[in-house]
Structure 1
Amino acid sequence: MLRVAKALGSRFAITHYQNGRDDRRLSEAGELRPIQDLDAAKEPATLIVINRWKVAIKLRRQHPDTPVFLWLHVYPGRHNRKMGAALKAADITVICVSNTHARELAAFLGADNAPRIRVICNPIDDALRPDDTPRNRDRLLFASSPHKGLGEVFEQFATLRDALPTLTLAVADPGYLRWDTGPVPRGVVFMGSLSHRSLIRQMRRALCLFYPQTTFAETFGLVLAEANAIGTPVVVHGELGANAEIVADADQRVDGHDPAQILARIRAWRDAPPQVTANPAFRLSKVARDWTRLLDSVPTRPQMSKV
């Protein structure tokens, strides 16, 4: 979100109203303010709410003439089925982060209750490119929160290691959620929370990003796109969430329920890693143009506020 806001800063005055913030500061991505400041702010040109559809409805009542968007990064749970009709009645457009996300949201809400839905992908930095960092053919990398299938990944890795005992699995955990992942196999190395720069360095060193879990559906999967952008292949379960859209190369997609297929892929890549590249549609410059077109299309401008 901050990456997008920074890219739009030369065209739009952006203010972030954040729950839990108690200070005010100016950043490269715009002004950062406590959410309470929104009550006293002058009428914003546009309001963009992150994930919280009920907050979007509340702001629509408070700002009846202001364009309101819901920037959705998650799949809503069953208890949120009423959100579609409410958003449609409030004339609020939903921004989904992949075509898969948009299709599944529309199906979940139903044709009669679906609001307007637009797709703007999450961005990968324009500067992310392959380099000459040597890869460790024995090193796999998991770079997500543990609730995103890490327990299953541990089981898959343990099976792999029975056949390839020199393999190691590095785990980069952003640290925002504790999760029971079951027994930790031999060969796992925990790196904790890494800066983005450090994470990219770890990606460059790894044979692949190892993410064949079959339970947590990603709406986009930014870490998958970033890995491909620097030339690092991904082992990902193809039939889950937006995986097949974000990782378009079929050679990187596996059946996560099939240990033999995963083993065959790792063995082949240890001998000859595939050549992978970024999808240009995910580059920040393209995503910023998509946001600019959207914001230029609303009746009023030039100030954008995010909640």
Structure 2
Amino acid sequence: MKAFRQETGRVPVAIVDPCCTAGYDLPELEAGGLGGTEATVLRVATALAPRYDITHYQSGRSHRQRSEAGQLRPLQNLDEARRPAALIVINRWKVAIKLRKQHPDMPIFLWLHVYPGRHNRKMGAALKAADITVICVSNMHARKLAEFLGTEDLPSIRVIYNPLDDDLHPDATTRVPDRLLFASSPHKGLAEVFRQFATLRRDIPNLTLAVADPGYLRWDTGPVPEGVVFLGSLSHPALIRQMRRALCLFYPQTTFAETFGLVLAEANAVGTLVLVHDGLGANAEIVTDADQRVDGHDPAQILSRIQAWRRAAPPVMANPAFRLSRVAEDWEQLLECARALRPQLSVVESV
């Protein structure tokens, strides 16, 4: 690999995404259909672009292109890559370990957005031995990972939240008290949400449930109750408009544990209430207002909360710690610490 010359003044960073099935860029973020992980990667990379020369290596990408989020490259181009000051690997710990063998002195981070399955119990010891830091997206995510790995095989773990756009705020949009919204992939408990909604509608027959499905995964959700309206895959601005109209984001499902739950945070940011099952995943950390958390197994509690909100919806707001500007500062601090430890990798050559 070539040595770097200090010409652009930006620090080179590589983001490696071996999980995506196709390349992605900012237009896909605006158009809709991207998962929360890809959306987060693009938002963070764009915010870091003024100080960091970021190159994305994406599985499924067939061609190179430039973007406000950085240079976009096919994953196979990683072998030809310039030597970055840090490598950030999305979700795949074995890829991070492989890269450590190729780059023994480089800071490597595993940016984890999922809970590891039981077959990954060896990852803790391997990551610790390879000196790879894991970035979790919530404190609950980090605690669950530590419990899963055990204290003897615990690598370094840091928490950096997924980001909310800085300009997401409540506006004067009139809410429809009979309109609920589900805005996630159907595998995230939609079948259960349908049953909860059908039960709820026996007492409030005018309720409707709008379903915004990003469309990246087909899933059997069982019978569709009366009152359900399918919105399809929405652009991000269109989804935010739907959030502003709805009484609440209706998400009291009890089975799919979010590591963060970006749509929950986005709904609160625009002043929309969120109904979630208490104690599941990061729900209590992201939705800190206890009035928005219920026992999803208790139809009476769900009904009581919806009835109260239809009479008078209390105000909600975003957690400042989730704002993109704050999250970008957390990433900059992490990368600057890595840069200080490897000053010989801290400048970028011209291209």
The DSSP-based 3-state class of the residue aligned with 1:158 is helix
Q: 1:40 is matched with which residue?
A: 80
| TM-score, normalised by the number of residues in structure 2 | 0.86
Distance 2:179 2:307 in 1: 12
Distance 2:60 2:264 in 1: 30
| Equivalent residue runs for 1:100-119 within 5 Å | 100-119=140-159
Pairing 1:161–2:201 present: yes
- Structure 1 runs (4+) greater than 4 angstroms displaced: 301-304
Distance 2:321 2:346 in 1: 25
Cα distance, 1:185–1:139 mapped onto 2, change above 3 Å: same
Distance 2:78 2:256 in 1: 34
The DSSP-based 3-state class of the residue aligned with 2:309 is helix
The DSSP-based 3-state class of the residue aligned with 2:45 is helix
Structure 2 counterpart of 1:216, from 239, 242, 256: 256
The alignment of Structure 1 onto Structure 2 pairs a total of residues equal to 304
What is the CA-CA distance between 1:42 and the residue it aligns to? 2.1
* CA RMSD, Structure 1 to Structure 2 (Å): 0.9
Structure 2 counterpart of 1:286, from 320, 326, 330: 326
Pairing 1:226–2:266 present: yes
What is the CA-CA distance between 1:239 and the residue it aligns to? 1.2
Distance 1:22 1:212 in 2: 40
Distance 1:133 1:251 in 2: 23
Cα distance, 1:204–1:25 mapped onto 2, change above 3 Å: same
The DSSP-based 3-state class of the residue aligned with 1:39 is helix
What is the CA-CA distance between 1:81 and the residue it aligns to? 0.6
Distance 2:81 2:226 in 1: 55
Distance 2:324 2:61 in 1: 27
Q: 2:123 is matched with which residue?
A: 83
Q: Render the CA deviation track for 1:24-58: whole Å, top value 9, x for unaligned.
A: 01101000001111101122110000000000000
Q: 1:191 is matched with which residue?
A: 231
Structure 1: gaps spanning 5 or more residues = none
Distance 1:239 1:102 in 2: 15
- Sequence identity (%): 76
Pairing 1:68–2:108 present: yes
Q: Give the partner amino acid of 1:257.
A: H
Pairing 1:136–2:176 present: yes
Q: 1:19 is matched with which residue?
A: 59
Contact 1:101 1:219 in 2 (8 A): yes
Q: 2:297 is matched with which residue?
A: 257
Distance 1:228 1:41 in 2: 40
The DSSP-based 3-state class of the residue aligned with 1:64 is coil
Deviates more, 1:294-303 or 1:90-99: 294-303
Q: Give the partner amino acid of 1:12.
A: Y
Distance 1:229 1:267 in 2: 22
What is the CA-CA distance between 1:302 and the residue it aligns to? 4.4
Cα distance, 1:164–1:14 mapped onto 2, change above 3 Å: same
Q: 1:295 is matched with which residue?
A: 335
Deviates more, 1:246-255 or 1:292-301: 292-301
Q: 1:93 is matched with which residue?
A: 133
Q: 2:36 is matched with which residue?
A: none
The DSSP-based 3-state class of the residue aligned with 1:297 is helix
Pairing 1:51–2:91 present: yes
Distance 2:313 2:289 in 1: 13
Cα distance, 1:144–1:157 mapped onto 2, change above 3 Å: same
Q: Give the partner amino acid of 1:126.
A: D
What is the CA-CA distance between 1:9 and the residue it aligns to? 0.4
Q: Give the partner amino acid of 1:204.
A: R
Distance 1:126 1:45 in 2: 28
What is the CA-CA distance between 1:303 and the residue it aligns to? 6.9
Contact 1:11 1:302 in 2 (8 A): no
